[in-house]
Amino acid sequence: MIVDLPDTTTSALSKALVKIREEGGAVALGRVLTLVIATSLGEEEEVIEAANDASREHPMRVIVLSRRREPVEEEPRLDGQIRVGGDAGASEVIVLRAYGAAASDEEGLVTSLLLPDAPVVVWWPSAAPASPSTSPLGRIAQRRITDAAEAADPVGALTTIGRHYQPGDTDFAWTRLTLWRAQLAAVLDQPPYEPVTAVTVSGASDSPSTELLAAWLRLQLQVPVTLQVTSPALGSSGIHGVRLERPSGPVDLERNTAAVATLVQPNQPTHDISLPRRSLRDCLAEELRRLDPDDLFGEVVVKGLALLETPADKVGTGAR
């Protein structure tokens, strides 16, 4: 069910929610958190769909605060919409479309709609504040999710994240590495248990996940890491592959298609491994599984990135 409330107030939205619960049986019981999504006008549906899918694992209240990417002179107005039942997955969705001066008080718009005594997670699907933890929405949240891949300068955005990092911050560029990190850790947990002497990570030059993977390996293995980057126009985007140099020979994990990678190890058969690109729903659901700070992410963006070679030392390659 979808209920539209044009030119409304947050007080009227709260009363409408109570009425919907009483008349239709939609309840807030069992909601484990409030997810606040700060997005731009016209970009709501994709993030609502991802939140609805994730809510089947994490029942929650979703508050979508939508406003113009660039402020313009217009009459202040707040248009509200409430979605419950089949239109909201296992959550209840409140969409706030704010115009003019009504969009200036982000914290005030969402505060009265938060679930009582429930954790708050804020997600910026596209443009994010330089310092999420001190932003109006970030101040009320236990967890703050950004996506460096959506920034105008994705790799540069990681530097900003590291400069302003506070416990509770995370980024989807890190979440997209979960399968890569798990596979590489599994390789190193198998015989011959040799030390890694050098690492090469290859990927697109605009891929923040490639940078984070290289930083993680540099921090964890304490060996030289070479970062080979290609122009996105010349090859596929994202991470291309990882080579681990060991005394018995190199270990290569290369993604050949969007969903499958090839693992080549000395004296072992070549394996095709499922390594799909992760969807928004997968990334969001994973981040909502933990509400405590991701300390490893903090170490990687604060310390690991600083250990990498400077951009001038990165190796440019042709299309793979």
Q: For residue 256, tell me if it sits in a domain.
A: yes
Whole-angstrom Cα distance, residue 302 to residue 199?
20
Question: Would you place residue 319 in the very low, low, confident or very high pLDDT band (cuts 50, 70, 90)?
Answer: very low
Query: 44 and 162, same structural domain?
Result: yes
For the chain, the 3-state helix, strand and coil shares in percent, each to the nearest 5, are 35, 25, 40
Q: Do 158 and 217 belong to one domain?
A: no
- Cα distances (angstroms) measured from residue 79 to each of 132, 146, 256: 26, 25, 46
At residue 144, the pLDDT reads 98
The predicted pLDDT at position 315 comes to: 54
Distance of alpha carbon 69 from alpha carbon 289, whole angstroms: 30
Last residue of a domain, one of 172, 192, 219: 172
Mark whether 272 and 188 lie in a shared domain. Answer: yes
The domain total for the chain is 2
Q: Is the pLDDT assigned to residue 157 strictly greater than 80? A: yes
In a domain, 310, yes or no: no
Query: What is the number of alpha carbons within 13 Å of residue 315 lying toward its C-beta?
Result: 10
**Whether residue 140 is found in the same domain as residue 101:** yes
Instruction: Give the domain range for residue 270.
Output: 178-276
Q: Do both 9 and 133 map to the same domain? A: yes
CA dist., res. 209 & res. 229, Å (int): 12
Q: Give the residue among 69, 65, 70, 92 at the shortest CA–CA distance from 80.
A: 65
**Count H helices, E strands: the chain?**
10, 15
Q: How confident is the model at residue 308 (pLDDT cuts 50, 70, 90)?
A: confident
Asked if 174 contacts 212 with a C-beta cutoff of 8 angstroms, the reply is: yes
Predicted confidence band of residue 26 (pLDDT cuts 50, 70, 90)? low
User: Can you list the alpha helix ranges (DSSP code H) found in the chain?
Assistant: 10-24, 44-55, 106-111, 154-164, 172-175, 178-188, 208-221, 280-288, 295-299, 305-307
pLDDT value, residue 316: 54
Co-location of 186 and 98 in the same domain: no
- Evaluate if residue 320 carries a pLDDT over 50: no
17 and 148 in a single domain? The answer is yes
Whether residue 87 has pLDDT greater than 60: yes
pTM: 0.92
Residue 260's pLDDT is: 94
Same domain, 154 and 201: no
Q: How many CA atoms lie within 13 A of 75 on its CB side?
A: 3
Is there a single domain that holds both residue 23 and residue 162?
Answer: yes
- Residue 200 placed within a domain: yes
Torsion sign over Cα 164, 170, 175, 177: positive
Domain boundary among 172, 199, 234: 172
